[in-house]
Structure 1
Amino acid sequence: MSSLYPLSARTSFSFVLAFVSGLVLLFTAGTPATAQVTAFRQAVAEAAARDEDLAAFYRAREFQGIWSGQSPEDQARRNALLTAFADASNHGLPTARYDPAQVMAQLRAARTPAEQGQMEVELSRLFMQYARDVQTGVLVPREVDNLIKREVPYRSRLETLEGFLAANPAGYLRALPPSSPEYTRLMREKLRLESLVRQGGWGPQVSASALEIGSSGPAVVALRNRLIAMGFLDRTATQTYDATIVAAVQKFQQANGLAVDGEAGPGTMREINTSLNTRLQSIVVAMERERWLNRPLGDRHVWVNLADFSASIVDDGRVTFSTRSVIGAGDRDRQSPEFSDEMEFMVINPSWYVPRSIITKEYLPQLQRNRNSVRHLEITDSRGRTVNRANVDFSRFNARNFPYAMRQPPSQRNALGLVKFMFPNQYNIYLHDTPAKNLFSREVRAYSHGCIRLNDPFDFAYALLAVQESDPVGFFQAQLNTGREARVNLDTPVPVHLVYRTAFTNVTGSLQFRRDVYGRDGRIWNALAREGVVLNALQG
């Protein structure tokens, strides 16, 4: 990966290596050797005592150091650690937390055995902090947004330190970040855009809020130049919004999840004028999110990118099926959460068992105004028996004491459509069909109560069933044609990942951006900035 590093990073590596290669921590001259060792180990024991994992690690080693000695092994560990620290900014980590110059100054200043013992433990602490940050993220997702229900795969800090001690130091540190192709591509794009910023960025923003095809003038020239700088248009001298600019705008729209019409309307112009800094922030956030998901996704898995309004089936790293989706509306209580689970079965001709929150917030007030409203829904008691609404005084109830449930039987008009895909979870979220097909043609598709609606649910079902049915279409249609509710188990449960990526790449490495419809990535960036994450270059 060294070929990806900008010159400044390579230069800092040389500086670190030159210093560390000659770094030898010596005990204070003139002090008896036994006293030196005793003082050093006592300092290690005292400094490590504040951290349970560090205390266990050094206790098992009888408080001997792993960084502080003159051996080639200790020197190699220092070498590798400071080199990794010099690379921290490329991963979008807090640079001040791992400032090699500051660490080296502390190493120089540690002259007495006690100071050297404290610095020994500090290096181990910094190693464990770096390992966790680069491997599973700087932030705790739920602390940033409680709708990010992501279970981060944290590794044991003690086992990580022990593993490092037993391995090649440089190789071990290089293997800590996510090994996914997406993380590698995002990092490459981060470095590329940072280099572009240093060269002047994308140039001036386009002053017009919208431009019409066929128009000309300074704003069209600014649009042309910005599209060239972004890589969507080959060099041209045109000063008119002609066919070449239309084609470039279409490429830009495709890469930004916009309606691909070639017209530079207000929405397209806002995205074109988005600064490089903002785009870099999105990439850094995407890298943090990739660290939160640093575990095997499954040879076959379902990938739902909420910000992209899409749901895909991925087989061995390749998208084999994809469809548009509708996600939860922007209101806080309707937004779709982020989490991972396993899809176990689908239900063909499903009933819709109305969530309690929808019953009390939406349907109970309607029933209180008119008991014959929402006739498409059955009202049922605690034993599932249908209740005659003519015998119920709905005015007696409120959201807390309403004793009934509601159900919509299978039908073409069912809110879940004709099939739902279940990965049972505490959030009551699943994928399903819908009778509201018109919403899929919209650019921003955030309308549901939180579940994920699919534009092509039958094809999605066929793709899932293809691995266990010789005729998946015939099998599915036979169940559908009965009109009766039918559960179909998946022979092998399929992992489902509900994610939120405003910056991502496709398999060719092409960089894609999407709007931050829930504002989550903005909150994540602000939290990263508070932790000390900064962009390597700042321009518009």
Structure 2
Amino acid sequence: MRNSVISFVIIFFSISLANANLINNKKGSTKLTATPSSYRESTEENSTILINSTIISEFFKKYPDLKNYKSEVTALYKKRNYKSIWYDHKGVIAFADLLYSKANQLKEDGIKSNLAYKDKIDGIFNKQNTPDLSPTDTELLLSSLYIFYAKKVYQGIDTTKIRAIGWFLVQKNLPYENLLDSLLIDPQLLNKNEKQLFGQYYKLRTALKKYRQIEKNGDWNSITAEILTKEYQPGDSSKTIAQIRHRLAVTGDLKQDSKSNLYDKTLMSGVLNYKKRNSMKADYAITSMLIQRMNTPIEKYIKAIIVNMERCRWIAPEMTKADEYIFINIPSFKLIYKRNGKKELESEVFVGETMNETAIISSHVTQIVFSPYWNVPSSIIETELIPAISREKNYLEDHNMEWNNGKIRQKPGEKNALGLVKFIFPNDSGIYLHDTPSKSLFESEYRAYSHGCINMNKAKELALLLLKDDPDWPIERINNAMNGEKETVCTLKKKIPIHIGYFTTWVNDSGEISFYNDVYERDNRLAELLFLNESK
């Protein structure tokens, strides 16, 4: 008898605990409180709901505005032998509530979009009303909701449109059926899934929340400069200084706002930090250009964050998981080389001018060429060199150039346009990464004036790092090869991934956000595509 009583108490306690967990899951659905095992068990239960290809076809005839999801929905059920996904013996599984909650919070992911027949789906989760839906319709509406959510958050706009706007970085393969498996096993992945989304995405999402809160607080007041003052320097005093101090406190460049009108040491630190994180000349001058930059409407910054979150959706997360790789961001004019997750080198670069935009691509560095020839492109010969030769008889000789098989090339040397080293990576645009003799150009904030290739400030340092573990290329041999006397080609034993991207907004590992000039004016074009697809 005593054992029976104990057993009854244990069973009663277990049932009570299970009911409490279920209630918790229904409340505040952004909290993923259920254990992964409970989701697995739910999906493994046999279901009496009948699903087959004919029923799926009939469903999409009944709900034609969802027809774009038909192939992906069919793939979900084909993999599961047409068994129910969203029902177990108790009814609709708890994970469906979590998915529904996340789909209703797409604004947090910078997405403005509603699923067709949303009123029907709302009815599934409105416990006060009995939904006028058959279990089969409910099942397939939930599968359509999942595909809608996955496409919006994990994939972004259509791949053909991505390539049409000139984006050729490595793109991910997204099998929706496998993604659903992982989400059912671990629902926490709905909050953060770096196996499916480039890590920068989540940093930008946090920044988006911050900037929306600033906008909501009405804390982005316009800064007014005194008409006669061209710039402010440390020691100056002005109401404008106090306004700038407040703005830097809002953006996080200052820890607090003292409300002082004096340009003191604290404000100097804030101004310098603001300029550094936004790729501006690192000095203390508060110019009219700086004030103009600070007066950018916050709505524009929010749009920039959303646009760059979309770009993150296109990237295969494993792109930055390689042991070593080179990443170049065009708008920031920066190159970063990472090895084993650690940044080994950062270099200033300049890129193609607006008439010769640098391509957005992924490739592999296969060769390093020391003391290279510069084989002048035909377009430059025709538009620049031929006219110059006609004006100056000794133009080629004066510029260390020569004819070679009907073409013109510049011989190796310190004045060579490619500098003393270039890095070859196969690509259809015919561009490469190289040194430059024009080091003074790196002092400029705006650095988009090449013919499309990428010129870097620390080319030798990069060559040394890439050959660091190659015993055939000690530093003495590299120095000799870079003496400018003859071209020497080094074929790398290991190909190094290189990615040239375009991000006008970036969040570093410390959580600081940077906003860069949209040098090729691509943000507005992408925003138009995004907003065009809002309701789809």
Cα drift, residue 183 of structure 1: 2.7
TM-score if structure 2 supplies the norm length? Answer: 0.79
In structure 2, how many angstroms separate the alpha carbons of the residues matched to 1:246 and 1:56? 59
CA contact (8 A) 1:97 1:532 kept: no
In structure 2, how many angstroms separate the alpha carbons of the residues matched to 1:94 and 1:520? 20
Report what 1:224 is aligned to.
245
1:313 aligned residue (337, 340, 364) = 337
Label 1:413 to 1:217 Cα distance change in 2 as closer, same or farther (>3 A): closer
CA contact (8 A) 1:308 1:502 kept: yes
Report what 1:138 is aligned to.
157
Q: Secondary structure at the match of 1:54?
A: helix
CA contact (8 A) 2:413 2:484 kept: no
Report what 2:171 is aligned to.
152
1:483 aligns with 2:485: yes
Label 1:13 to 1:148 Cα distance change in 2 as closer, same or farther (>3 A): farther
CA contact (8 A) 2:169 2:501 kept: no
1:287-309 Cα deviation digits (max 9, x unpaired): 22222223212121111111111
1:411 aligned residue (388, 410, 413) = 413
Q: Which amino acid aligns with 1:415?
A: A
Q: Which amino acid aligns with 1:319?
A: K
Q: Which amino acid aligns with 2:58?
A: E
CA contact (8 A) 1:135 1:291 kept: yes
1:47 aligned residue (43, 51, 59) = 59
Report what 2:358 is aligned to.
336
In structure 1, how many angstroms separate the alpha carbons of the residues matched to 2:153 and 2:176? 13
In structure 1, how many angstroms separate the alpha carbons of the residues matched to 2:476 and 2:316? 38
Q: Secondary structure at the match of 1:308?
A: coil
Q: Which amino acid aligns with 2:185?
A: N
Q: Which amino acid aligns with 1:246?
A: M
CA contact (8 A) 2:412 2:486 kept: yes
Label 1:70 to 1:447 Cα distance change in 2 as closer, same or farther (>3 A): same
CA contact (8 A) 2:338 2:344 kept: yes
CA contact (8 A) 1:340 1:496 kept: yes
In structure 2, how many angstroms separate the alpha carbons of the residues matched to 1:519 and 1:229? 27
In structure 2, how many angstroms separate the alpha carbons of the residues matched to 1:325 and 1:183? 24
CA contact (8 A) 1:346 1:420 kept: yes
Q: Which amino acid aligns with 2:418?
A: L
Label 1:493 to 1:99 Cα distance change in 2 as closer, same or farther (>3 A): farther
1:305-350 Cα deviation digits (max 9, x unpaired): 111111111123221111111111122xx11111111111200011
Cα drift, residue 156 of structure 1: 2.6
CA contact (8 A) 1:430 1:452 kept: yes
In structure 2, how many angstroms separate the alpha carbons of the residues matched to 1:208 and 1:102? 58
In structure 2, how many angstroms separate the alpha carbons of the residues matched to 1:112 and 1:501? 45
CA contact (8 A) 2:172 2:315 kept: yes
Cα drift, residue 199 of structure 1: 2.2
In structure 1, how many angstroms separate the alpha carbons of the residues matched to 2:159 and 2:225? 40
Alignment RMSD (CA, Å): 3.4
Report what 1:199 is aligned to.
217
1:75 aligned residue (93, 117, 122) = 93
Q: Matches of residues 121-136 of structure 1 in structure 2 within 5 Å?
A: 121-136=140-155
2:187 aligned residue (170, 184, 188) = 170
Report what 1:385 is aligned to.
none
In structure 2, how many angstroms separate the alpha carbons of the residues matched to 1:73 and 1:367? 82
Q: Secondary structure at the match of 1:128?
A: helix
CA contact (8 A) 1:135 1:294 kept: no
5+ unaligned residues in a row in structure 1: which ranges? 1-10, 22-35, 382-403, 534-540
Q: Which amino acid aligns with 1:238?
A: S
Q: Which amino acid aligns with 2:209?
A: L
5+ unaligned residues in a row in structure 2: which ranges? 1-23, 35-47, 62-66
Q: Secondary structure at the match of 1:260?
A: coil
Report what 1:279 is aligned to.
301
1:437-477 Cα deviation digits (max 9, x unpaired): 22111111111011110112111211211132487422311
2:435 aligned residue (426, 433, 438) = 433
Q: Secondary structure at the match of 1:126?
A: helix
Cα drift, residue 351 of structure 1: 1.1
Cα drift, residue 48 of structure 1: 5.6
Label 1:357 to 1:78 Cα distance change in 2 as closer, same or farther (>3 A): same
Report what 2:13 is aligned to.
none
In structure 2, how many angstroms separate the alpha carbons of the residues matched to 1:361 and 1:145? 28
Higher relative contact order (CA 8 A, sep 6+): 1
Q: Which amino acid aligns with 1:468?
A: D
1:403-444 Cα deviation digits (max 9, x unpaired): x43322222222111100111111112110112222111111
1:235-283 Cα deviation digits (max 9, x unpaired): 3242233443333222211121111111111221122112222222222
CA contact (8 A) 2:167 2:361 kept: yes
TM-score if structure 1 supplies the norm length? Answer: 0.78
In structure 2, how many angstroms separate the alpha carbons of the residues matched to 1:515 and 1:421? 27
CA contact (8 A) 1:337 1:450 kept: yes
CA contact (8 A) 2:420 2:484 kept: no
